[in-house]
A and B are shown apart, each in its own frame.
Chain A
Amino acid sequence: GQQVMQIPQYQHVQEGEDFTTYCNSSTTLSNIQWYKQRPGGHPVFLIQLVKSGEVKKQKRLTFQFGEAKKNSSLHITATQTTDVGTYFCAGWGDSNYQLIWGAGTKLIIKP
């Protein structure tokens, strides 16, 4: 079946360093979404990418969708303590009703 692989599982950074998480799908996706889950909380929608090669920015966050619509990345510049949490990608594949979720990347700020 369709799968979305997300790496790394964890990333430890010093505050102020950059953070990147990558997603790769086994099949072409119609769109990809990114969610953030704060510790103890529920996932919250960040953004959707639809077009091949699309790049979107939200302040220090940059989201990219690959040309083949099979991979995506989220890059955070100059991390802050408020960025702590787990970032998930999720894509619509063949089914109109199911998102295929990556396993998430946990961003940890070193004390």
Chain B
Amino acid sequence: SQTIHQWPATLVQPVGSPLSLECTVEGTSNPNLYWYRQAAGRGLQLLFYSVGIGQISSEVPQNLSASRPQDRQFILSSKKLLLSDSGFYLCAWHVGTASYNEQFFGPGTRLTVL
């Protein structure tokens, strides 16, 4: 079966510290992968998406970066966190055919920057 993992589940980091969030998927190959951020009580903001190894598209200028070192691994990073980076970070995997599309989300990482 298809599974998506994210860790850690929660994270509290001081301003200026680095960040690394990891997402891995199982049960598929060459998936389209996405990083979203959700501020408290708000909608989903697309940060990055990747259609393959080493291929990253950025949607919003920011101090975050993403990498895809392996087919089923997607990493979100920052060298120096800002207060505004707090939020709920969701990794998603697009499942799609000509007639069916769905984004399947991981459990998310709740990041608080203090």
Contact = CB atoms under 8 A, between A and B. Distances in A.
Given A98-B49, A103-B42, A50 B99 contact: yes
B101 A31 contact: yes
Nearest to A4: B43
B49 A45 contact: no
B107 A42 contact: yes
A42 B101 contact: no
Among B59, B100, B101, B104, chain A packs the most CB atoms within 10 A around the CB of B101
Interface residues on A, range: 20 to 34
A33 B32 CA distance: 17
B46 interface: yes
A88 interface: yes
B87 to A, nearest CB: 13
A104 interface: yes
B103 interface: yes
Interface residues on B, range: 20 to 34
A2 to B, nearest CB: 12
Contacts of B44: 43, 88, 101
B101 A43 contact: no
A104 B40 CA distance: 12
Contacts of B102: 33, 45, 48
A92 interface: yes
Contacts of B111: none
24 contacts: A6-B43, A31-B101, A33-B102, A33-B103, A41-B107, A42-B105, A42-B106, A43-B90, A43-B103, A45-B102, A45-B103, A48-B101, A48-B102, A50-B99, A88-B44, A92-B101, A97-B32, A97-B94, A98-B59, A99-B46, A99-B103, A101-B43, A101-B46, A104-B42
- Sorted nearest first, the 8 A-B pairs with minimum C-beta distance are A103-B43, A42-B105, A45-B102, A101-B44, A42-B108, A104-B43, A43-B105, A101-B43
Interface of A: 6, 31, 33, 35, 41-45, 48, 50, 88, 90, 92, 97-99, 101-104, 106
